[in-house]
Amino acid sequence: MNDETAPLAVWCAGEEWCPITSTATILGKKWHPVIIHRLLKHGPSGFNALKDAVDGISAKVLSDSLENLEEYGLVNRAVISEKPFRVEYSLTPRGKSLEPIIIAMHDWGKEHLMPADEPAQ
């Protein structure tokens, strides 16, 4: 596991827009913001509870996404018990620091995007 206090690597060469591009790369994966949102809303969760909360995600994609978020130091994976085997996922302080961004994404979407049950015009 990465040291969650160490800065994350950027993918560009010192340009002024590097922080934006690098952050968008982390949050731009389809399920990452949703997983973070659910952990912010529900708190620490087991794998199955998280899968139920992230409607439409497969177990494989959720597992891969959680592993990726853990590599970025945004999610912590803790083994709760060995028998039966239980794992709990929670946000690290770095993950929790994304709350204003996730809320802003939600609010922007509510204001500017058409509801899913409305037909396109």
Q: Are 72 and 29 in contact (CB under 8 A)?
A: no
In a domain, residue 14? The reply is no
Residue 117 belongs to a domain: no
Look at the chain and report how many structural domains it folds into.
1
Q: What's the rounded Cα separation, in Å, for the pair 32 and 64?
A: 10
Write down the pLDDT at residue 8.
Answer: 76
Domain containing residue 46: 21-110
Q: What is the pTM of this model?
A: 0.84
Whether residue 81 is predicted with pLDDT greater than 80 in this model: the reply is yes
Q: What is the CATH number of the domain that holds 67?
A: 1.10.10.10
- Structural domain contains residue 85: yes
Structural domain contains residue 94: yes
Q: How confident is the model at residue 1 (pLDDT cuts 50, 70, 90)?
A: very low
Mean pLDDT of 91-112: 95
Q: Which of 50-59, 94-103, 112-121 has the lowest mean pLDDT?
A: 112-121
Instruction: Read off the pLDDT band of 2 (50, 70, 90).
Output: low
Q: What is the pLDDT of residue 11?
A: 65
Percentages helix, strand, coil for the chain, rounded to the nearest 5?
50, 15, 35
- For residue 79, is it within any domain? yes
Determine, yes or no, domain membership for 37. yes
